[in-house]
Structure 1
Amino acid sequence: MGPTHAMSGATAGLVMATLLPPEWGGPTSIAGTFVFVSVTAGAALLPDLDSPQATIARSFGPASQVLARVTENTAQLLHTATRSPKDARRHNGHRTATHTLLFAVLTGLATGAATTAFGKSAAIAILFVTLGLALRGLFPNWSKKNDWFLVTGLAAVLAYATWTQLPESASPVALGAAVTVGVLTHLLGDMITKRGVPLFAPLPIGGRRWYDVRLPSLLRITASGPADRLLLAACTAAVLVLSYLTVFDPAALGIAWAGR
C-alpha cells in the first residue's frame, strides 16, 4: 500500500544516502540527506501512477486523476503491443510498463536530463511532485484530513525552499539518483506480493515478455494484510533509528561528509 511504499522508500533513501558518493548524487549535509530521503519516498509511489485508485492518483486532485487514467491506458496499450502469445491479455495497465527496471532507469535519466536542460523550473517541478507524494505517503492520516490543495500548496512551498536553500540537493545527479532509488524500492516491494512485477519486461523470459517476478508462494504477502502492516512498522522503526544516527552520530553510519 501507499504508506508502506513511501516508508520503504524513505528507508532506502537513508541507506543510499550513506553509500552514494557525492559525485553519484549522494547528499553532502544533514539537510541534503533528508531532501534526498523525501524524494526517494515520493518517487517510491511513482510506479502506481498506472492505477487511478492508488495514493498517487489522489495526491494532486483532478490533475493526478487524469494523469493516472492516461498512464493506465498507455501502459495497457504498450502491454498489448508487445506481449507474446504466452502472455495473458490485460484489462488494465496496472503493474505493467511502470513496474519494470526499464522504467526505473528511464525515470532517473529523464529527471537528470530535464534538470540539466531546463534548470530551476524543472528541478522545482520534480521536487514539487516528489515532495508532495512524500507528504501523502509518509503522513497518510494527516493528508486524509486535509484537502488535496493544501498538500499541493505545502509541496510547492517545500520545493521552492529546497531549491533556494539547498541547491545542491536539486542537482541533476542528486534528483535522478533519488528518483531511481525510490522507483526500485517500489518494485522490490511489489515483488514480494502475490502478484509480483514484470521486472525485466519487455525482455523475453520463458517465451513471455511480461513475466512476473515474485517470491516462492509461501513467502508472498498480501497488500494491506498483516505482513504489509508489519513491514510498514519495521520500515518506520528503521527510518527513526537511521534518522537519529544521521543527525546525532553520522560517523557511526560511515557517512562521507561526517568528518567535514
Structure 2
Amino acid sequence: MFSCPHQVTNPLVDKYTSYQGANSSTIDEMMYKLPTYQVMALPNFTWGSIDGGHFLALIDQAYQEVVHWRKNMFQVPWGTSGKQFMSELARLFQAHAEATALESVAITAAMVMPHLLLQRPNMKSKPRDHASCPTRRMPSWLEGDIQGLLREARTIQLHLGNRAQSCRSNMKTDSSRKFANYMKKGDDRAAGRFLSDEADCGVLSLDECIDDGLHQLVREILKKKHPDPAPLVPDAVLDPGL
C-alpha cells in the first residue's frame, strides 16, 4: 500500500463528501444556499395618465418590435431638444440605479426611446431637419402615448423597406456583373469578399421560416443548437462557510 505525501485536497470536495450521509434538506441548506439579492421594485408608478403595469406592457411590446427595425436613427441634436432627450435618458438610468418604482421599466424604456424619438423622417432628411423631431415627439413620450409614436415610426420604416427593396432590385444586375468580372479575372478572394459585403444583415425573427429545404422556424433551429441542461455541480454553488 502506497501513500502520496503531497496529496492535494479540495475543501469543497471534502465538505461535500462529508454531506453524503446527510439528508437532502441539510444539503440544500448548507451547500446550495444562493446569495441574497434585492427584489426588483413593483411597477407602482404612473407614467403620464397610464398606470405602471399598463405602461410596462406597452414598453415590452414596443421593444419586441423595434429591435427588428432597419437602422434609421439620427444623432442626438444640439440645443434644447438634445438636452431634453439626454435628461430623460439620464432619469431612466438613475431610476434603475436607485431601485425606484421605475426600476422594472427603466432599462427597457431607455432602449426603446431612441427608436421612437430619433427616427429620421426620410432617407434624404438633413441634420437641420432633425432638431425639431425630439421636441415634437417628447410630449407624447412623457404622456405615455407609445402606440402613437409606434404608428409614426412604423410608417417611416415601411417607406424605408419599400425604398430598400427597389434599390436592391436595381442593383441586382450590377452585383451579378461585378461578381462575374471578379471570377473571370480569377480573383476568388475579391469575389467572396464582395458577396459578404453585399449580403443583408440583421436580426431574424424567431417565427421566421428559413428556406433551407426543411422550412424550419428560427426558433426550432436555435433549440436544436442549444445544449442539453447539465446537472448541478456543487463546486459551482457559493458556500457561505468560505
TM-score, normalized by the shorter chain, greater than 0.5: no
Structure 2 length as normaliser, TM-score?
0.25
Structure whose alpha-carbon radius of gyration is higher: 2
Structure 1 length as normaliser, TM-score?
0.23
